[in-house]
A and B are shown apart, each in its own frame.
Chain A
Amino acid sequence: MATSDVTTPTPSTDAVASARPGRLESHLRAQRAAGRKILVPYITAGYPTDTWPLLVEGLATAGADAIEIGIPFSDPVMDGPTIQESSSLALGHGITPVSALARLGKVNSPIPLVAMTYYNICFRMGHRRFANALTTAGISGAILPDLPLEEVEPWAGAADEGGIETIMLAAPTAPDERLPRIVARARGFVYGIGLVGITGERKDLAASASEMARRLKAITDKPVLIGIGVSTPEQAAEVAEVADGVIVGSALIRKILDTGSIEAGVDFLGRLRAGLDGAA
């Protein structure tokens, strides 16, 4: 607690988190300290088939530093056509939050896992139960893209208590005064949104991606990863010149959608890794 400064009305959450970083943040900080650019792929639980947990091991071996696992939701407003498709196929196969977490609980992942879903999935289960369910499944962090700073506290408080790191998103549309409050509440890493838009593959890297990374790196020591609109090894390398790393979702899912094979996704991850290592 910030006891040294009695004029501070509330303790700095940034200071608290920095003092005791969780497993995810510690792991990412260690990668960064070793001079490595961080690579976090996204996969959809339940997609492409019920062998999907094999992707976790494959991606870890191919050079991922953490994995973001989407728990499909019926109404994913932050997702473009690619992840809408993988989510809808997974739901069609009968995946549920409970069955997805049960499967993950049996995976012995060598790297930290992060759950990504929409708030109603968490709210319906209950904040403490959801945090406990993630912990039981071996998951370190959570991304809830429709839960902004204004509404995050009931969940984030429960997550802090339960040892789950709540990753906050920062968007190019945020005014300067907003960003410090976002990074203060962030645990694990700060998810910088690379462009004004939803998830999806893009031909070119938006100028806003590096600018977002610059704005965040200027105000925080926490790992800054850029996602949304990072689609190729070249784009990953370019944005990682400023950011600590990248999150790649739709482009990877697209490789699996096009080929029907998870190996295509693992191969692509290897190329992203090589691209980032070239830039490091």
Chain B
Amino acid sequence: MVDTASSVDEHKSLMDDPGQRGRFGRFGGLYVPETLVPACQELEHAFRDAWSDPSFRAELDELLGNYAGRPSPMTECRNLSAELGMRVLLKREDLNHTGSHKINNVLGQTLLAKRMGKTRIVAETGAGQHGVATATAAAFFGQDCVVYMGEVDVRRQALNVFRMRLLGAEVRSALSGSRTLKDAVNEAMRDWVSSVESTYYCLGSVMGPHPYPWMVREFHRVLGQEAFDQCRELLDGGVPDVVVAAVGGGSNAIGIFSGFVDTEAELVGVEPAGGSAVGRGLVGVVHGSMSYLMQDEYGQVQEAQSVSAGLDYPGVGPEHAHLADIGRARYEPVTDREVLDAFELLARTEGIIPALEPAHGLAWMVRCRDELAGKTVLLNLSGRGDKDVAQVQAILDGDPEALETVDFGEAGNGHQ
């Protein structure tokens, strides 16, 4: 591990306020239909106002503590550390209420929606974790809730669909395109364009138009700050050598990176090989912001392919694109096969069944075990695997339909 954490206070953070234009270097921005521009600007003002209001912060902290169960613990993995030859720490976001880090952002946004007087919430979801978290918070605040989910994901995440309905949300299948997360975002944006005067769009990742990438990061900062404090305690004032997180849109990764970006720790985002927006390195604009984007030579957005519904997304949050651009974080692809192996490994060695998303981070650690030998590695365990066990069982049993969701191709090799 690194001896001392460098001072956070003496210089401007690398993850700062992106300003009124919402720019992270050359990425970000506000690429939305004109109808939505005033709503995005109103949201930015409302968020700035709330975020600087101690009563809002106190109310959110109270909810994060007594409703969501924060702070989440940090677990040192003795068995896994011995097996991999590195010191493995897990930030246990899987232990939050609703089973993932998503609740941090959702409680922040739904509390903000309440403050703004919006009574209807729309959201998109991939794996269903953001949808479940949004349905949960909407139930808590008494808000109407509609969640858009790709038809493919509705099938492979049936348990989360049932959870959302149980919580009183309406789940609408997105039937266009690849029928996964990208298309759910399209449908949620179309709904918002049509209902913007009454509706709050609770976006689930650090993507979309300004102010979402910044606001969602701020709502997840709590997990990075906790992890930083927990590491200082555990590592005698130090920080880990490497901080690892899975990246689809990139919200859990931004959360944990925010705690370490101004330290010496190396930051690694792990993308599915079939959805490696950063790895392919093409800049594009979709869903409201400029970032890296999987696309063809004409600019048509390509369909991602991943065993994990939560990472099955062709884009990535603009701040990740910036962190990659300036070399502060690196982004690595892993295959679905490696992910399934890592999923089983954590269950077997530590008694923790991870979600398929953080299993990507572990898969990269397994692959790079030689490079990481003797180092202290912090993995953000962003969610628990209950939602995935039926799918993984079907895959391991060789069910043809389940196997269709798996890309057994080899990992891409950085920039094309």
Contacts and interface: CB of A to CB of B under 8 A. Distances in A.
A84 interface: yes
B301 A193 contact: no
B299 A88 contact: no
Say whether chain A's binding surface is mostly helix, strand, loop, or mixed: loop
B284 interface: yes
Contacts of B301: 74-75, 120
Interface residues of A, number: 41
A248 B182 CA distance: 28
Nearest to A76: B186
Given A74-B177, A75-B301, A120 B34 contact: no
Interface in B38-69: 38-39
Contacts of A182: 34
Interface in A65-99: 73-78, 80, 84, 88, 91, 96-98
Given A74-B177, A75-B177, A150-B21, A169 B31 contact: no
- Which of B177, B195, B285, B298 counts the most A-chain CB atoms under 10 A from its CB? B298
B37 interface: yes
B300 A146 contact: no
Contact of B286 (A120, A169, A174, A175): A120
B186 A121 contact: no
User: Is chain B's binding surface mostly helix, strand, loop or mixed?
Assistant: mixed
A151 interface: yes
B260 to A, nearest CB: 32
A173 B39 CA distance: 8
B167 interface: no
Interface string B136-162: 000000000000000000000000000
Nearest to A122: B299
B227 to A, nearest CB: 35
B285 A77 contact: no
Interface residues of B, number: 37
A131 to B, nearest CB: 15
A120 B295 contact: yes
A17 interface: no
A182 B39 CA distance: 17
B31 A173 contact: no
Contact of B33 (A80, A88, A98, A146): A146
Most buried by A among B30, B195, B299: B299
A121 B300 CA distance: 7
A149 B194 CA distance: 20
B177 A173 contact: no
B238 interface: no
Interface in A232-275: none
A75 B182 CA distance: 8
A146 B284 contact: no
Interface in A160-219: 168-175, 178, 182, 193, 196-198
A209 to B, nearest CB: 14
Contacts of B287: 75, 77
The 7 A-B pairs with the shortest beta carbon distances in the complex, nearest first, are: A124-B299, A197-B194, A171-B35, A74-B300, A120-B299, A169-B34, A171-B34
21 contacts: A73-B299, A74-B300, A74-B301, A75-B182, A75-B186, A77-B33, A77-B189, A97-B298, A119-B285, A120-B286, A121-B298, A124-B299, A148-B31, A171-B35, A173-B37, A173-B196, A174-B37, A193-B34, A196-B195, A196-B197, A197-B193
